[in-house]
Amino acid sequence: MELKYKKIGIVVKPHKDVAFYLKKAVQVLQSLKVEIFLEKIAAELLGEKSAVLREEIAGYADMIIVIGGDGTFLSVAKHAVEQDVPVAGFNLGALGFLTELKKERLEETIEAALNDQLTISERKLLQLHYKGETGVALNDVVVSKGNIARIIKLSLEIDGLYVADIKADGLIVSTPTGSTAYSLAAGGPIVTPPVDGVVVTPICPHSLTFRPFVIPAGSRVKVKLISEGTEVFITIDGQKVIPMHSGDYFETTVYSKKLKMVVSNNMNYFRLLNEKLNWGL
Protein backbone atom coordinates (compact mmCIF):
# COMPACT_ATOMS: atom_id res chain seq x y z
CA MET A 1 0.00 0.00 0.00
CA GLU A 2 1.34 3.42 -0.96
CA LEU A 3 1.73 5.82 1.94
CA LYS A 4 -0.46 8.92 1.94
CA TYR A 5 2.13 10.98 3.85
CA LYS A 6 5.71 10.86 2.57
CA LYS A 7 7.36 14.01 3.98
CA ILE A 8 7.46 14.01 7.76
CA GLY A 9 8.58 16.82 10.04
CA ILE A 10 9.64 16.07 13.62
CA VAL A 11 9.49 18.60 16.46
CA VAL A 12 10.45 17.67 20.03
CA LYS A 13 10.60 19.17 23.50
CA PRO A 14 13.82 18.91 25.56
CA HIS A 15 13.02 16.07 27.98
CA LYS A 16 14.94 13.30 29.68
CA ASP A 17 13.14 10.62 27.62
CA VAL A 18 12.83 12.45 24.32
CA ALA A 19 16.02 11.10 22.68
CA PHE A 20 14.83 7.51 23.16
CA TYR A 21 11.46 8.10 21.50
CA LEU A 22 12.94 10.39 18.84
CA LYS A 23 15.29 7.61 17.74
CA LYS A 24 12.41 5.14 17.62
CA ALA A 25 10.39 7.57 15.48
CA VAL A 26 13.25 8.11 13.06
CA GLN A 27 13.88 4.37 12.77
CA VAL A 28 10.29 3.59 11.84
CA LEU A 29 10.18 6.50 9.38
CA GLN A 30 13.39 5.32 7.76
CA SER A 31 11.96 1.80 7.45
CA LEU A 32 8.96 3.31 5.66
CA LYS A 33 11.36 5.16 3.32
CA VAL A 34 9.84 8.62 3.81
CA GLU A 35 11.61 11.98 3.75
CA ILE A 36 12.39 13.30 7.24
CA PHE A 37 12.75 16.95 8.26
CA LEU A 38 14.15 17.63 11.73
CA GLU A 39 13.55 20.78 13.75
CA LYS A 40 16.67 22.17 15.46
CA ILE A 41 16.32 20.43 18.85
CA ALA A 42 15.62 17.07 17.21
CA ALA A 43 18.60 17.49 14.88
CA GLU A 44 20.92 18.32 17.78
CA LEU A 45 19.79 15.27 19.75
CA LEU A 46 20.61 13.05 16.78
CA GLY A 47 23.88 14.78 15.96
CA GLU A 48 22.54 15.94 12.60
CA LYS A 49 23.68 19.22 11.09
CA SER A 50 20.73 19.67 8.76
CA ALA A 51 17.78 21.27 10.57
CA VAL A 52 14.64 23.20 9.71
CA LEU A 53 13.28 26.17 11.67
CA ARG A 54 10.15 25.33 13.67
CA GLU A 55 8.16 28.09 12.04
CA GLU A 56 9.10 26.77 8.58
CA ILE A 57 8.82 23.00 9.04
CA ALA A 58 5.15 22.87 7.94
CA GLY A 59 6.25 24.18 4.55
CA TYR A 60 8.47 21.14 4.02
CA ALA A 61 6.31 18.36 5.47
CA ASP A 62 2.92 16.85 4.70
CA MET A 63 2.61 15.66 8.32
CA ILE A 64 4.29 16.84 11.52
CA ILE A 65 5.10 14.56 14.46
CA VAL A 66 5.39 16.28 17.84
CA ILE A 67 7.09 14.45 20.71
CA GLY A 68 6.69 16.39 23.93
CA GLY A 69 3.77 18.21 25.48
CA ASP A 70 0.90 20.54 24.67
CA GLY A 71 3.14 23.62 24.69
CA THR A 72 5.30 22.13 21.96
CA PHE A 73 2.18 21.16 20.03
CA LEU A 74 0.81 24.71 20.27
CA SER A 75 4.06 26.19 18.99
CA VAL A 76 3.66 24.17 15.79
CA ALA A 77 -0.11 24.32 15.35
CA LYS A 78 -0.41 27.84 13.91
CA HIS A 79 2.16 27.06 11.21
CA ALA A 80 0.55 23.70 10.39
CA VAL A 81 -2.83 25.38 9.96
CA GLU A 82 -1.54 27.75 7.29
CA GLN A 83 -0.05 24.86 5.29
CA ASP A 84 -3.04 22.51 5.91
CA VAL A 85 -0.67 19.93 7.42
CA PRO A 86 -1.94 17.43 10.04
CA VAL A 87 -0.13 17.19 13.38
CA ALA A 88 0.35 13.99 15.40
CA GLY A 89 1.28 14.65 19.02
CA PHE A 90 2.91 12.07 21.31
CA ASN A 91 2.82 12.98 24.98
CA LEU A 92 5.87 12.60 27.25
CA GLY A 93 4.20 14.07 30.33
CA ALA A 94 1.18 13.30 32.49
CA LEU A 95 -1.49 15.56 30.99
CA GLY A 96 -1.44 16.20 27.25
CA PHE A 97 -4.88 16.94 25.79
CA LEU A 98 -3.36 17.87 22.44
CA THR A 99 -0.51 15.37 22.52
CA GLU A 100 -2.85 12.50 23.30
CA LEU A 101 -1.11 9.75 21.28
CA LYS A 102 0.66 7.27 23.54
CA LYS A 103 4.47 7.11 23.37
CA GLU A 104 4.37 3.41 24.26
CA ARG A 105 2.69 2.73 20.90
CA LEU A 106 4.75 5.24 18.94
CA GLU A 107 5.99 2.94 16.17
CA GLU A 108 2.68 1.33 15.26
CA THR A 109 0.88 4.66 15.61
CA ILE A 110 3.26 6.42 13.23
CA GLU A 111 2.85 3.68 10.64
CA ALA A 112 -0.93 3.83 10.94
CA ALA A 113 -0.90 7.64 10.67
CA LEU A 114 1.20 7.61 7.51
CA ASN A 115 -1.14 5.04 6.01
CA ASP A 116 -4.11 7.33 6.78
CA GLN A 117 -5.57 4.76 9.17
CA LEU A 118 -6.08 7.14 12.11
CA THR A 119 -8.78 9.75 12.65
CA ILE A 120 -8.21 13.38 11.69
CA SER A 121 -10.00 15.71 14.12
CA GLU A 122 -10.54 19.20 12.72
CA ARG A 123 -10.24 21.88 15.40
CA LYS A 124 -11.48 25.46 15.31
CA LEU A 125 -9.14 28.34 16.11
CA LEU A 126 -9.58 31.94 17.20
CA GLN A 127 -8.19 34.93 15.37
CA LEU A 128 -7.10 37.93 17.42
CA HIS A 129 -7.42 41.43 15.96
CA TYR A 130 -5.42 44.06 17.84
CA LYS A 131 -4.16 47.42 16.59
CA GLY A 132 -4.16 46.32 12.96
CA GLU A 133 -2.34 43.07 13.70
CA THR A 134 -3.66 39.52 13.87
CA GLY A 135 -2.77 36.32 15.68
CA VAL A 136 -4.17 32.79 15.77
CA ALA A 137 -4.96 30.67 18.84
CA LEU A 138 -5.87 27.00 19.05
CA ASN A 139 -6.66 27.15 22.78
CA ASP A 140 -7.34 30.69 23.94
CA VAL A 141 -6.80 34.41 23.95
CA VAL A 142 -6.33 35.73 27.50
CA VAL A 143 -6.22 39.26 28.87
CA SER A 144 -4.83 39.40 32.40
CA LYS A 145 -3.06 41.62 34.90
CA GLY A 146 0.67 41.57 35.53
CA ASN A 147 2.39 40.85 38.85
CA ILE A 148 0.72 43.62 40.83
CA ALA A 149 -2.07 42.25 43.04
CA ARG A 150 -4.76 44.55 41.68
CA ILE A 151 -7.89 43.71 39.69
CA ILE A 152 -8.46 45.25 36.29
CA LYS A 153 -11.60 46.64 34.68
CA LEU A 154 -12.66 45.48 31.23
CA SER A 155 -15.60 46.29 29.00
CA LEU A 156 -17.09 43.34 27.10
CA GLU A 157 -19.13 43.51 23.89
CA ILE A 158 -20.40 40.65 21.74
CA ASP A 159 -21.50 41.32 18.16
CA GLY A 160 -21.66 45.04 18.91
CA LEU A 161 -23.89 44.57 21.95
CA TYR A 162 -22.70 45.77 25.35
CA VAL A 163 -22.50 42.87 27.81
CA ALA A 164 -20.89 44.19 30.99
CA ASP A 165 -18.03 46.05 32.63
CA ILE A 166 -16.01 43.39 34.42
CA LYS A 167 -13.76 43.77 37.45
CA ALA A 168 -11.53 40.69 37.57
CA ASP A 169 -8.00 39.36 37.27
CA GLY A 170 -8.70 38.94 33.57
CA LEU A 171 -10.82 37.27 30.90
CA ILE A 172 -10.38 34.16 28.75
CA VAL A 173 -11.86 33.66 25.29
CA SER A 174 -11.36 30.03 24.32
CA THR A 175 -12.19 27.49 21.65
CA PRO A 176 -13.83 24.16 22.55
CA THR A 177 -10.34 22.63 22.32
CA GLY A 178 -9.08 25.20 24.83
CA SER A 179 -12.00 24.68 27.20
CA THR A 180 -9.95 22.08 29.12
CA ALA A 181 -6.97 24.44 29.49
CA TYR A 182 -6.87 27.76 31.40
CA SER A 183 -10.63 28.24 31.03
CA LEU A 184 -11.36 25.03 32.94
CA ALA A 185 -8.96 26.01 35.73
CA ALA A 186 -10.82 29.35 35.99
CA GLY A 187 -14.16 27.57 36.41
CA GLY A 188 -15.26 27.38 32.78
CA PRO A 189 -17.25 24.52 31.25
CA ILE A 190 -15.88 21.51 29.38
CA VAL A 191 -16.97 21.84 25.74
CA THR A 192 -16.48 18.96 23.31
CA PRO A 193 -14.41 19.84 20.20
CA PRO A 194 -17.22 19.52 17.61
CA VAL A 195 -19.36 22.18 19.36
CA ASP A 196 -19.71 25.26 17.18
CA GLY A 197 -19.11 27.75 19.96
CA VAL A 198 -16.70 29.96 21.90
CA VAL A 199 -16.28 30.07 25.68
CA VAL A 200 -15.97 33.35 27.60
CA THR A 201 -14.59 32.86 31.12
CA PRO A 202 -13.76 35.55 33.71
CA ILE A 203 -10.67 35.05 35.88
CA CYS A 204 -11.51 35.58 39.57
CA PRO A 205 -14.34 38.11 38.94
CA HIS A 206 -15.21 40.60 41.67
CA SER A 207 -18.89 39.87 41.05
CA LEU A 208 -19.72 36.23 41.79
CA THR A 209 -22.76 36.48 39.51
CA PHE A 210 -20.61 36.92 36.40
CA ARG A 211 -20.29 33.30 35.27
CA PRO A 212 -18.62 31.67 32.23
CA PHE A 213 -20.83 31.32 29.17
CA VAL A 214 -20.79 29.87 25.66
CA ILE A 215 -21.65 31.90 22.56
CA PRO A 216 -22.03 30.98 18.86
CA ALA A 217 -18.75 30.48 17.00
CA GLY A 218 -19.62 33.24 14.54
CA SER A 219 -19.68 35.87 17.29
CA ARG A 220 -17.24 38.78 17.41
CA VAL A 221 -15.98 39.36 20.94
CA LYS A 222 -14.63 42.81 21.81
CA VAL A 223 -12.69 43.42 25.04
CA LYS A 224 -11.64 46.95 26.02
CA LEU A 225 -9.28 47.82 28.87
CA ILE A 226 -10.67 50.56 31.10
CA SER A 227 -8.18 50.37 33.99
CA GLU A 228 -5.24 52.75 34.23
CA GLY A 229 -1.84 52.36 35.86
CA THR A 230 -1.82 48.56 35.88
CA GLU A 231 0.27 46.22 33.73
CA VAL A 232 -2.03 44.20 31.48
CA PHE A 233 -1.15 41.65 28.82
CA ILE A 234 -2.83 39.74 26.03
CA THR A 235 -1.58 36.17 25.76
CA ILE A 236 -2.14 33.95 22.73
CA ASP A 237 -2.06 30.22 23.54
CA GLY A 238 0.42 30.90 26.32
CA GLN A 239 3.01 31.42 23.58
CA LYS A 240 2.90 35.08 22.61
CA VAL A 241 2.50 37.98 25.06
CA ILE A 242 1.41 41.48 23.98
CA PRO A 243 1.21 44.53 26.30
CA MET A 244 -2.21 46.20 26.46
CA HIS A 245 -2.80 49.80 27.56
CA SER A 246 -5.77 51.70 28.96
CA GLY A 247 -8.27 52.48 26.20
CA ASP A 248 -6.97 49.69 23.97
CA TYR A 249 -9.27 46.94 22.79
CA PHE A 250 -8.98 43.65 20.95
CA GLU A 251 -11.49 41.51 19.10
CA THR A 252 -11.68 37.79 18.48
CA THR A 253 -13.42 35.88 15.71
CA VAL A 254 -13.29 32.23 14.68
CA TYR A 255 -10.46 31.69 12.18
CA SER A 256 -11.33 30.71 8.62
CA LYS A 257 -9.00 27.66 8.69
CA LYS A 258 -8.98 24.61 10.96
CA LEU A 259 -6.20 22.50 12.43
CA LYS A 260 -6.01 18.86 11.39
CA MET A 261 -5.10 16.87 14.50
CA VAL A 262 -4.26 13.18 14.32
CA VAL A 263 -6.05 11.22 17.07
CA SER A 264 -6.17 7.52 17.88
CA ASN A 265 -9.20 5.54 16.74
CA ASN A 266 -9.77 4.00 20.17
CA MET A 267 -9.63 7.25 22.17
CA ASN A 268 -12.94 9.11 22.41
CA TYR A 269 -13.14 12.51 24.07
CA PHE A 270 -14.82 11.28 27.24
CA ARG A 271 -12.27 8.55 27.72
CA LEU A 272 -9.58 11.23 27.33
CA LEU A 273 -11.23 13.28 30.09
CA ASN A 274 -11.33 10.20 32.30
CA GLU A 275 -7.62 9.48 31.76
CA LYS A 276 -6.32 13.03 32.07
CA LEU A 277 -8.62 14.53 34.71
CA ASN A 278 -10.24 11.50 36.40
CA TRP A 279 -13.42 13.17 35.14
CA GLY A 280 -16.63 11.34 36.04
CA LEU A 281 -14.75 8.80 38.17
Residues belonging to the active site: 70
CA–CA separation, 123 vs 176, rounded Å? 8
CA–CA separation, 280 vs 271, rounded Å? 10
Q: What are phi and psi of 30, to 5 degrees?
A: -65, -40
Residue type, 156: L
CA–CA separation, 78 vs 93, rounded Å? 22
Residues 6 or more apart in contact with residue 25 via CB below 8 angstroms: 10, 65, 67, 90, 106, 107, 110
Q: How many alpha carbons lie under 13 Å from residue 54 in its C-beta half-sphere? A: 14
